[in-house]
């Protein structure tokens, strides 16, 4: 048994020897885009009220007991980018949480509510961070919307670097359309992966010997 323990200690030492020089490197991020294109599938001509949507680790609910909308992307009065998106009618709201629980925001596509109200809209994002602090950003659209016409209805807005370490993001305002929410989480640390690999190898070794 002492022999096995010595081997395990050697492996851990080896893994830390590999890990220590890597500690000086900045941690990267893993980014992805929530498209709201489903599943579940939504017919392009449908506009539906929902209380829950989940995609790629991100959960969307209304703030409190309300609702929000999901549009199929083929309704003439709505902004158009060829895909499904979220929409907030009068009194709607949105709350976003993530898995893993801490996340950051990179960017979001926003557009006006519909061609019937073709005005610029200010969309308020409220971010709740792990340390109890709150960050607020207002994005105002350009007021350009022609549905399926030649104009570009959606604009991409970028969040500042402070939009990280978030536990929850809320949009308390309504009258907007939202698509392509780009999210990030810290990449798994290379050092911790190496230690994990060494421990897994040691466990396999002992299992074979048992």
Contacts with Ca ion by CB under 5 A lie at 35-37, 83-85, 111, 141-142, 144-145, 153, 179
Q: What is the C-alpha to C-alpha distance for residues 150 and 141, in angstroms, rounded to an integer?
A: 17
Nearer CB in complex with Ca ion: 92/179: 179
Nearer CB in complex with Ca ion: 42/111: 111
CB 136 within 8 A of CB 123: no
The closest alpha carbon to 124, from 77, 88, 154, 153, belongs to 88
- State the nearest-atom distance from the C-beta of 45 to Ca ion, in Å: 15
Nearer CB in complex with Ca ion: 42/84: 84
Cross-strand bridge partners of residue 122? 140
- State the nearest-atom distance from the C-beta of 197 to Ca ion, in Å: 38
Residue 116, classified by CB atoms within 10 Å of its CB into exposed (0-12), middle (13-18) or buried (19+), is: exposed
- State the nearest-atom distance from the C-beta of 100 to Ca ion, in Å: 24
- State the nearest-atom distance from the C-beta of 119 to Ca ion, in Å: 10
The closest alpha carbon to 83, from 152, 179, 155, belongs to 179
- State the nearest-atom distance from the C-beta of 163 to Ca ion, in Å: 21
Nearer CB in complex with Ca ion: 170/179: 179
Nearer CB in complex with Ca ion: 47/142: 142
Buried b (16+ CB within 10 A) or exposed e, 81-109: bebbbbbbeeebbbbbbbeeeebbbbbbb
**Angle CA 147–152–155, to nearest 5:** 115
Name the residue number minimizing CB distance to Ca ion.
83
């Amino acid at each position: 048994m002492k022999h096995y323990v010595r081997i395990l200690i050697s492996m851990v030492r080896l893994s830390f020897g590999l890990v220590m020089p890597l500690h000086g490197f900045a941690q990267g991020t893993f980014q992805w885009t929530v498209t709201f294109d489903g599943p579940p599938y939504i017919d392009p001509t449908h506009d539906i009220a929902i209380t829950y949507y989940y995609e790629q680790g991100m959960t969307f609910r209304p703030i409190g007991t309300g609702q929000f909308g999901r549009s199929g992307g083929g309704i003439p009065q709505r902004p158009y980018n060829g895909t499904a998106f979220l929409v907030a009618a009068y009194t709607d709201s949105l709350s976003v949480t993530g898995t893993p629980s801490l996340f950051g925001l990179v960017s979001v596509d926003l557009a006006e509510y519909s061609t019937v109200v073709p005005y610029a809209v200010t969309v308020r994002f409220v971010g709740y961070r792990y340390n109890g602090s709150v960050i607020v950003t207002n994005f105002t659209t350009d007021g350009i919307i022609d549905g399926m016409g030649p104009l570009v209805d959606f604009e991409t807005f970028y969040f500042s670097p402070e939009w990280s370490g978030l536990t929850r993001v809320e949009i308390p305002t309504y009258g907007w359309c939202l698509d392509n929410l780009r999210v990030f989480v810290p990449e798994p640390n290379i050092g911790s992966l190496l230690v994990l690999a060494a421990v897994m190898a040691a466990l396999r070794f002992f299992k074979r010997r048992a």
